[in-house]
Amino acid sequence: MTRALALVEDGVATLALLAMVVLPLLEIVLRRLFGVGVPASGPIVQHLTLWVGFLGAAIAARDGKLLALASGTFIPEGRFRRASEVYSAAVAAGIGTILAWGGVELVLSERGTGSTLGAGIPIWVAQTVLPIGFALIAVRQVWRVRSGWSGRAIAGLGIVAGVIIMRAPGLLEGRTPLPGLLIVLLAGVVGTPIFVLLGGAAVLLFMSEGVTPAAVLIETYQLSVSPTLPAIPLFTLAGFLLAEGNASARLLRVFRAWFGWIPGGTAVVCAFLCSFFTVFTGGSGVTILALGGVLFPALLKDGYRERFALGLMTAAGSLGLLLPPALPLILYGVVAQIPIEDLFIGGILPGILLTTMIAAWGVREGIISGAGRQPFVFRESLVSLWVAKWELAMPFVVLVAMFSGIATAVEAAALVALYALVVQTVVHRDLSIRRDLLRVFTECAVVVGGVLVILGVAVGFTNYLVGAEIPAKMLAWSQQNIHSKFLFLLMLNLFLLAVGWLMEIFAAIVVVVPLIVPLGEAFGIHPVHLGIIFIANLELGFLTPLVGINIFLASYRFKRPVLEVARAALPMMAILGLGVLLITYVPWLTLAILRMLGRA
């Protein structure tokens, strides 16, 4: 029964992703040839994003892959570790139950309106994935407890508590939410999923004021069906298809042929290759996991010091977040309501700057360590370009499709996903449609779901902050106490660095952007420049010692202690920190191309 349910989940998520690819492409073809589109194509694709996200989150819960704070990994094995696991599972199950109940309330309310998303499909039918997804997550948090049936029984009390709270909401109404918030915060510290932290805070704050948890789910639904949000799972799918095939080997051959002759050539290759991959994977860790097995041994073989190689791979795993069509740029545009195309253009020079700075440090290391170089062979350089031509063309496919007016951001994302699928399955035959398609699409859905479930509850938490007039209060305080634009930018850097320590980049965008956008306007900072500053700072946050996600992914991938990885990454963090300051205080880097094109 469990295996059958898993196959159904995987199959539905895969079909939803495939439909998200096909429908926008049909829209392009029909619009260009016949001047008509697919009826309700846009709303259907938006609601398919909802299904991919929450089915993916349920699958992630099934496989133990929901994103959590790294602090829980410091708890030593033994009785305390088992008790912490039961406690965090109980809290997660309770919050999941409350959110599932709120989802039921939302569905019942929407059903009463009789609204449709188009093509005769009722909206409430599409929304049913919300209560189903959260209910599955709640149950699976309990099921995955490793302490046997006794531990599961204790964790299951979280579900009971969630039901009691929803049956008697007066238990929380009019009372201080502080005890509940402390319970949720402690659970986060010991390893409960991040969505529990944000979702738990949101429902407790709302319920203390007599507002139903459905308020959180309303915001979750509205974000999930944003017109441009489907671009995120589609670009992620393209990145997964690249990572699962032999694209990394072909691209490595190109970069080594062209740059391997200079001092530190292999290090330069690693920086540019990782930057290329991260553009399509969004800093989700796929870059380190997919390329680490190839690039780390290559660096050691060529004579680079192990500490340098470890630090380089850890830092390079988040390079590329400012280059188009990186996923954080898309989400920032959605939340801040500014043109995604402008963010793509604004991120080009800053993204190249950060990648080049890391590459330059690699050149220095190559000179100091005397690492081996690869002679430049003109024939090999041309052959390598020809072999990897399909992968190298991917960014140009996106940019040409978008800036020529042929396709919207979502349609361009669908086009590049299909492009990657055809290249990997038909042109190079690295992947088999029969053997690999379900697995790759499911893994993509897991990553997308792990992110979207956080975004969904984060936007509910943000809605509470806006309702509590937190942005207005921050603006008033800033205007009274900060009178220099440069001082504001410095404080913004420090604030965003702290945010990068505490929050995953996509959740940080949803929660923090609505707070800082009014401040940026008050101090005369261009909206695109503010966005690039924001993402550059959070890119730096991936390397924060002991809590940065790249630190733990590199520790896992290269089987090195966390402290050793953190120490190795410190020079890279200092270099990127200098780059962030340049991006912050030299707005020309962000705005030069926009001004040339008359867009700023």
Cite the DSSP H helix spans in 148-261: 148-167, 178-189, 194-208, 214-224, 231-244, 247-259
Residue pair 246/430 in contact by the 8 Å Cβ criterion: yes
pTM of the model: 0.85
Residue 548 has pLDDT above 80, yes or no: no
Nearest Cα to Cα of residue 179 among 153, 207, 215, 155: 207
> Residue 427: its pLDDT value, please?
92
88 pLDDT tier (thresholds 50, 70, 90):
very high
Q: Which residue has the higher pLDDT, 370 or 378?
A: 378
75 pLDDT tier (thresholds 50, 70, 90):
confident
List pLDDT tens digits, range 301-325. Answer: 888 899 999 999 988 878 888 998 8
Q: At what angle do helices 129-143 and 79-113 cross, to 10 degrees?
A: 170
List pLDDT tens digits, range 200-252. Answer: 999 999 999 989 899 888 888 888 788 888 988 898 888 888 878 888 888 88
285 pLDDT tier (thresholds 50, 70, 90):
low
Give the CA dihedral 128, 129, 133, 136, nearest 10 degrees. 60
Instruction: Please state which of the ranges 392-396, 482-486, 499-503 shows the lowest mean pLDDT.
Output: 499-503
List pLDDT tens digits, range 402-427. Answer: 878 788 888 888 999 999 999 999 99
Q: CA–CA distance from 424 to each of 13, 244, 247 (Å)? A: 20, 9, 8
Mean pLDDT value across residues 477-487: 83
Mean pLDDT value across residues 182-202: 90
